Structure 1
Amino acid sequence: MINLPQRIPDRGEPRPRHATAPLTAPAAARLKGPDASVRLAALSRLLLHRYGAGWTVVGVFDDGHALVHHDSEADQETTPLGALAGAVRRRSAALPADGEPYAAVLSARVEEPPAVLGRPAWTLSVDGDALDLLHDTTVLDAGSADRVAEHLALLAHEIAEHPDKVAGDVELLLPEERTLLLKAWNAPHTPHADVTLHQLFREQSARTPEAVALRHGGTDITYGQLDTASDRFAHALLPHIGVPGDLVVLTGERDIDLFTAILGIWKAGGGFVYLDPALPGPRAADVLGLADPVAVLTTSSGHTAVGDRALKVDALLALDQPAGPPPDVARPDTTAYVLFTSGSSGTPKGVVRPHRMHTSRIRLEQGIYALGPADRHLLKSPISFREFVWPLAGGGTAVLAEPGRDRDDRYLARLIHDERVTTVSFVPSMLRLLLTQPAFRTAPALRHVFVGGEALGQDLEDELRSLGFEVHNTYTLSEADYVCHRTAAPASPGTGGPGTNVGVPLDMRVYLCDPAGRLVPPGIPGEIHTGGPGLSDGYLGRPDLTAERFLPNRHDPGHPPVVFRTGDIARYLPGGEMEYLGRADDQAKVRGQRVEPAEVETVLRGHPGVANAAVVSAPDPDQGAVLVAYVVPEGEEVPVQRLREYLAERLPDFMVPARLASVPALPLLGSGKVDRKALRVVSRGRPEIDVPYVEPATPGQRRAAELVARVLGLDKVGVDDDFFALGGDSLRLMLLRGALEAAAGRQLALSEVFAAGTPRGCARLLDIDEPTRPPARRPSDRRRRVRSRTATHVEGGDPR
């Protein structure tokens, strides 16, 4: 699709309209004469290129039998403006008898000229000293057409006045557009406190020492108690911290001791790396090696990879230490923690996040959202600073979900309801599940619902608002915290556009740029470049990658000095809000987590039975997107289930593709690159696993198999097919529970559905043709390895 400002779909009969823009005398003279049509065509092509359309086919109406097109694939960014008209040539092309002249000028590319031509988006001519753009209002709205005409006139002036300037150096911004982009829609930074995260907590503790800071199960700890305990922990850790920002690896499940340790690390001057106990061993080893920590800390539930080298958190807390805080050596620019994310090189990369990245924004955000001591925040992620730091800096209470149950929609809904939680943060796919739970819909205190990580659909937003919740759609990154936000009032309409409205910058500078790094006009898609107080310090031990993505600010030098090139594509809407449109590369978001497909491909190619592999992100109605992997076998085909097990032993669960398929070869483009678009068509066929297909034999088995197949998006499944071997995950497990409950007419524990494992086991839960309920079949050792990663999220039963 050509990226025109606010291009609208066909809406019935064409309605012609003229948009005009004045031309300088030299520009008007240059666009007249014997080659006027070719010059106008070259002008249109340059503008469309700058709008993100590439070098397109443009029609010339001299004799009704010509197409102007690019003579070669040479880079016209370096072509002098005065030579642009000479860089195109005519080619005779008889029009089809039933075709309208040049209908596809805005959608055809040079390498694939259209066979049938339809209605043009515009025709261009010169009338005296004015440029006349005749356009169809059912294709291009009036306001956008007027701006197109002005942009064409601006380019015509540049060509006439500076014919030796190369096309890539032309600034395509009207003066009023530059004002909007750099001033009106990019407000200056607000002053912020020059403090660290633990200083914010200490200030709040001094104000409300008796208020509850953390609540976990039936245990509460007050601000004063948490302050004292973390002081003691900091003293115990001081001998290990050499200089401010030294890294400490911390591992353990979510509990009060874990968060006490975090505050203690900060107070001792260190930063930390969280090692999730659920990570597979090789991945944990990668993180430990890359972090190169000065110490390793573990709670009783920490990762086994740390071994005997780890210091026990409970033992350090029990030591007799001096009263009061240690000397505070940390500064706002000191590293608070390093967050490891998927890396395209095949190993994870660590994002260095200093204290100022959060302290610069916390008080601003608390003011915007009116968060204070009366608020209760749900903390359900392993480590989430949006959920952890907010309440502790504002006097509220963080309510900790039980470890292993943070992916159980019914448990979370009841916790939110019973604990009178006021503030939650979820990805859209989880919110859709929560909305099926009456406890969530009737939560008496819930007020704020923060949404991020996936595109927020208008239907979901409308349903949340209909329940009286304040919905805050956010755009945040590992490298840049909380870049944009949109707080939708209950009657706020959606944009109706192709993307997601993520609102306005929040104390961050945002620039939308074309591939050459130039600002794009309002309404034109561009890559998000962002900078400001919420920007990270780059990648741990990777100066090369940091220099590639963190660039000098060429648009507003020094304010801020550095911007991060995100790879995300967005456009400005007329009021200054941003509409997120997708990625400029292959990076994916799965269950709110960032995934570099290249990292998954690298791991797959490490299997001895795989010659080549490609991984793509494909749309999914339940999760927004899923990963699909295609492998070319090295000799004999490797069973899909073996590949899944191989990946599960090396990657986090969200990086294991939902679908894997063997192919004889990967489809290629003419350039030799993998044709990833051709791979995004997801097969609904049953994957090849290590159990033969067995037809369901009873009504209960047939019904259970039907439900399993529906949840997994497959045409059919066998009665003994393992749910997780077929591509199931924790979110689909909750979907399956809901489907089984509807069929059985009763509630089921998530652990029951997990243990059932196959359609045969699920049939017993339906009680349709199974009078007794024998114990669930124990999975094989290989299956257990695949399924054990999900088991950590369903242990502990499910009170009904």
Structure 2
Amino acid sequence: MLTKTKIESVQFTDQQALHRLFEAQVAKTPDRIAVVYGEQTLSYEELNNRANHLAHDLQTFGVAAGKIVAIACDRSLDMIVGMLAVLKAGGAYLPLDLDYPMDRIAYMLQDSQTEVLLTQQHAAERYKDQSVQMILLDDTDGTSSVTETRDNLHLQVTGEQPAYVIYTSGSTGQPKGIVVGHGAISNHMQWMQTEFPLDASDRVLQKTACSFDASVWEFYAPLLAGAQLVFAKPGAHLDPAALVQTIQEHGVTTLQVVPTMLSMLLEQGDFAECTSLKRVFAGGEQLTRNLQERLSAILPHADLINLYGPTECCIDSTFWVAERGGTGHVVPIGRPIANAHVYVLDEHLQPVPQGVEGELYIGGAGLAIGYLHRPELTAERFVAHPFAEGERLYKTGDLVRMLQGDVLEFMGRIDDQVKLRGLRIELGEIEAVLQRHPAVQQAAVVMREDTPGDQLLVAYVVCKGEQLQIQDLRPFLTGQLPEYMVPSHYVCLDALPLMPNGKVDRRQLPAPDLSTQGKGTDYVAPGNSTEELIAGIWSEILGLPEVGIENDFFELGGDSLAALKIVALCKREGIFLTPEDMFKLRRIGEIAAALEARTRR
């Protein structure tokens, strides 16, 4: 029996270009509010006009089919205007995270051969040394504009043309660009509207960073259905209290979160008052039955949908509406979306029996075009379909098994790719960057979970002849990697443990000694009650016997999840920190001083 599941082919509209679907909705509801950002709003017609105006400008800058346009701006009305404009001009957009190190952004711009960059005035200085033409999206005096027309453009855009490029972690030490076509994203959007229909009463929260493909449906699902797109403020995606406030303030009905953030939302006492929520989508990590039951207890009217899919298969390939009272520790990843095919195969590309673990292969309408400028890697990961001549399957590297009823359950990975709080990380990329450090001879990175539910990245290094200062590694990495890829703990070894085949035996790598973290800074005791209270909370969350007011949060092993836990505990004690305080100030002394200054104001 072929271990494969698929739903019957669904014939969607022949309007394969994503922006054409949006323009069709504009014609139906021109005066309805389309986008909300704080107090700012745009109607469908206003959004379309602004995007058209910019699209005509982009054409004068040479943007056409196959051209990639980078977008680097805060979550704002400008962001969605820029994305739609690039699509309308025939190009593909490349979203850049403003928090990424400049070296990484420079690599992406060069690798993608981007010639035009859309940004905002406050960020423009960062890109002045890049070989790109800059257009300022918030240019209020109009000096960046060269045209006046706001009419729809009538370019012929097919489903095979690129719509966007998203870079993900790469095992060779550099990120790789994944090119997704209009047909794939249009199929996903139309499946979503069929399966989970939105209407004028719906408000979808856009909170996922634009550099991750999970953000894509947050942008477009509401705009293709006459619903409202509600932007969370910059930084709010890391702040559960701010998310709860936004949901309540705008009556958000549709929310997407990674399970880690869902757990933190459920710990917010006022999350139970988010009664506008009708559906909560979870993805990026395994969804546990316990988390499902907690949500059901607090918001019993809200559906919980588990989503699964790699960027190479356009956001989501399978889904599962969590059943109350289901069995098993984890929620299944479910069945394929419309026009997607999934197979569970062995190493010889042969089907495995039901219930037996195998690698997941995905085919159908959602496949990406491939990896940008990497034909060999594309051929390696998008393999010839063994059961359908002329078609392709994406080799996911994910281990799954088929349960009764043709339902998939995620089991793990077959390689060194991991997901930390929903973010995809190739451990090999971190290792490659570490080995560029002049004092590092060898490096291995693993994701550990020595305490249940507490996942962290740990780097193990073997030094060259000179003595390596461990505290120098973190700043070295932060200059080249996004924050979420920087290990929170570092261990220096005489040699890496090896298996008989010469590969690193990751199972033999020792647990880090948390008590030694951050010892490069002399201990300075808290000097007042606020510092003392914050230091006690840091010690509790980071598992350290004592924390001084001059110790760096990240050098102590802190990460984004620990920061959120600290913010929540401080709030209970009447100390109102923000995640931004933790990330920018990083030391208790500076945080306490900032809090005192706010109080004086």
**Structure 2 length as normaliser, TM-score?**
0.91
Match of 1:720 in 2: 550
The residue correspondences of 1:5-404 to structure 2 (distance < 5 A) are: 177-178=1-2, 181-182=3-4, 185-194=5-14, 195-241=16-62, 243-302=64-123, 304-307=125-128, 309-313=133-137, 314=139, 315=142, 318-383=145-210, 384-404=215-235
Deviation at 1:370, TM superposition (A): 2.5
Matching residue within 463, 466, 477 for 2:310: 477
Q: Which has the higher contact order (CA 8 A, sep 6+)?
A: 2
Secondary structure of 1:248's counterpart equals strand
Letter in 2 for 1:367: T
* SS in structure 2 of the partner of residue 399 of structure 1: strand
Does structure 2 conserve the Cα–Cα contact (< 8 Å) formed by 1:413 and 1:439?
Answer: yes
User: What is the alpha-carbon distance in structure 1 between the residues aligned to residue 136 and residue 359 of structure 2?
Assistant: 45
Q: How far off its partner does 1:556 sit?
A: 3.9
Matched, 1:538 2:374: no
Task: Say yes or no: does 1:571 pair with 2:401.
Answer: yes
Judging changes above 3 Å, is the alpha-carbon distance between structure 1 residues 197 and 707 closer, same or farther for their aligned structure 2 residues?
Answer: same
Deviations 1:185-234 (A, max 9, x none): 32332112232110010000000001111101101100011111111111
Whether the 8 Å contact between 1:277 and 1:304 is mirrored in structure 2 is: no
Q: Is the 8 A contact 1:388 1:398 kept in 2?
A: yes
After superposition, residues 554-593 of structure 1 pair within 5 angstroms as 554-557=386-389, 561-593=391-423
Query: Residue 249 of structure 1 contacts residue 291 of structure 1 at CA under 8 Å; is this kept in 2?
Result: no
- Deviation of 1:513 (Å): 1.1
1:673 and 2:503 are equivalent in the alignment: yes
Three-state SS of the structure 2 residue aligned to 1:370 is: coil
Distance 1:678 1:703 in 2: 38
Q: C-alpha deviations, 1:563-617, integer Å up to 9, x for none? A: 0000000101112111101100111112211111111111111111111111111
Partners in 1 of 2:436 and 2:584 — Cα distance?
32
Helix, strand or coil: the match of 2:333?
strand
2:518–2:551 CA contact under 8 A, matched in 1: no
Offset, 1:422: 0.4
- Asked if structure 2 preserves the Cα contact closer than 8 Å seen for 1:741 and 1:747, the reply is yes
TM-fit CA distance, 1:755 = 7.0
Distance 1:401 1:680, change over 3 A: farther
- Structure 2 distance, partners of 1:474, 1:365, is 11
Q: 1:455 to 1:714 in 2, by over 3 A?
A: farther
- Distance apart, 1:402 and its partner CA: 1.2
SS of structure 2 residue aligned to 1:628: strand
Q: Counterparts of 1:232 and 1:292 in 2: how far apart (Å)? A: 24
TM-score (norm 1): 0.69
- C-alpha separation between the residues in 1 aligned to 2:87 and 2:542? 44
Q: Could you tell me how far apart the structure 2 residues matched to 1:755 and 1:571 are? A: 43
| Separation (CA, whole Å) in 2 of partners of 1:231 and 1:696 | 57
CA offsets 1:543-577 (integer angstroms, 9 cap, x no match): 0100100001103445xx10000000010111211
Look up the SS of the partner of 1:600 in the other structure: helix
* Superposed displacement of residue 235, structure 1: 1.0
Letter in 2 for 1:404: G
Match of 2:354 in 1: 522
- Residue 314 (structure 2) pairs with residue 487 (structure 1): no
Cα displacement (A) at 1:245 = 2.2
For 2:468, the equivalent position in structure 1 comes to 638
Rounded to whole Å, the distance in 2 between the matches of 1:362 and 1:620 is 40
Structure-1 separation of matches of 2:580 and 2:170: 33
* Kept in 1: contact 2:120–2:136 (CA 8 A): yes
2:492 is matched by which residue type in structure 1?
S
Q: Is residue 337 of structure 2 the alignment partner of residue 503 of structure 1?
A: no
Identity %: 33
Q: For 1:620 and 1:501, how far apart are their aligned partners in 2?
A: 25
Aligned partner letter, 1:284? I
- Contact map agreement 1:214 1:220 (CA 8 A) in 2: yes
- Residue 371 of structure 1 and its aligned partner are, at CA, apart by 1.7
Q: In the alignment, residue 310 of structure 1 is paired with which amino acid?
A: M
CA distance, structure 2, for counterparts of residue 777 and residue 360 of structure 1: 53
Change (3 A) 1:755 1:268: closer
Establish whether residue 426 from structure 1 lines up as the match of residue 257 from structure 2.
yes
Q: 1:623 to 1:276 in 2, by over 3 A?
A: farther
Point out the more displaced range, 727-736 or 538-547. 727-736
Query: What are the superposed Cα offsets for residues 58-109 of structure 1, whole Å, 9 maximum, x if unpaired?
Result: xxxxxxxxxxxxxxxxxxxxxxxxxxxxxxxxxxxxxxxxxxxxxxxxxxxx
* Structure 1 position 473, deviation (Å): 0.5
Q: Structure 2: how far apart are the matches of 1:532 and 1:191?
A: 13
Distance 1:427 1:622 in 2: 17
Tell me how far apart the structure 2 counterparts of residues 365 and 344 of structure 1 sit (CA, whole Å).
32
Aligned equivalents of 1:448 and 1:720: distance in 2?
Answer: 44
CA 1:408 to 1:303, structure 2 compared with 1: closer, same or farther past 3 Å?
A: farther
- Give the Å deviation of 1:712: 2.2
Shift of 1:504: 1.0
Name the SS for the 1:650 alignment partner. coil
Q: In structure 2, how many angstroms separate the alpha carbons of the residues matched to 1:303 and 1:345? A: 30
Deviation at 1:426, TM superposition (A): 0.7
Distance 1:642 1:579 in 2: 41
Q: Is the 8 A contact 1:618 1:628 kept in 2?
A: yes
User: SS state of the match for residue 224, structure 2?
Assistant: helix
* 3-state SS of 1:444 partner: coil
Distance change in 2, residues 1:533/1:662 (3 Å): same
Match of 1:461 in 2: 292
Q: Bigger radius of gyration, 1 or 2?
A: 1
| Superposition deviation, residue 437 in structure 1 | 1.8
Provide, for residues 760-785 of structure 1, a one-character-per-residue CA deviation record: whole Å limited to 9, x for no partner.
667x6xxxxxxxxx55799xxxxxxx
Q: Secondary structure of 2:477's match? A: helix
**What is the letter of the counterpart of residue 351 of structure 2?**
L
Deviation at 1:695, TM superposition (A): 6.5
1:417 and 2:251 correspond: no
Amino acid at match of 2:248: H
Distance 2:576 2:310 in 1: 38
Contact in 2 for aligned 1:618/1:682 (Cα 8 Å): no
Q: Distance in 2 between matches of 1:239 and 1:746?
A: 52
Aligned partner of 1:127 in structure 2 is none
The 3 A distance-change label for structure 1 pair 442 and 622 is farther
CA contact (8 A) 2:64 2:89 kept: no
Aligned to 1:614: 444
* Matched-pair contact (CA < 8 Å) for 1:591–1:654: no
Q: Where does structure 2 lack aligned partners over 5 or more consecutive residues?
A: none
Contact 1:686–1:715 (CA under 8 A) maintained in structure 2? no
How many aligned residue pairs are there?
584
Distance 1:775 1:220 in 2: 33
Where structure 1 has 5 or more consecutive residues not aligned to the other structure, the ranges are: 1-176, 765-773, 779-796
User: In the superposition, relative to structure 1, how do residues 751 and 247 fare at CA in structure 2: closer, same or farther (>3 Å)?
Assistant: closer
Q: CA RMSD in A?
A: 2.5
Q: 1:553 to 1:386 in 2, by over 3 A?
A: same
Structure 1 distance, partners of 2:387, 2:448, is 35
**Residues of 1 paired with 2:544 and 2:501: CA distance?**
34
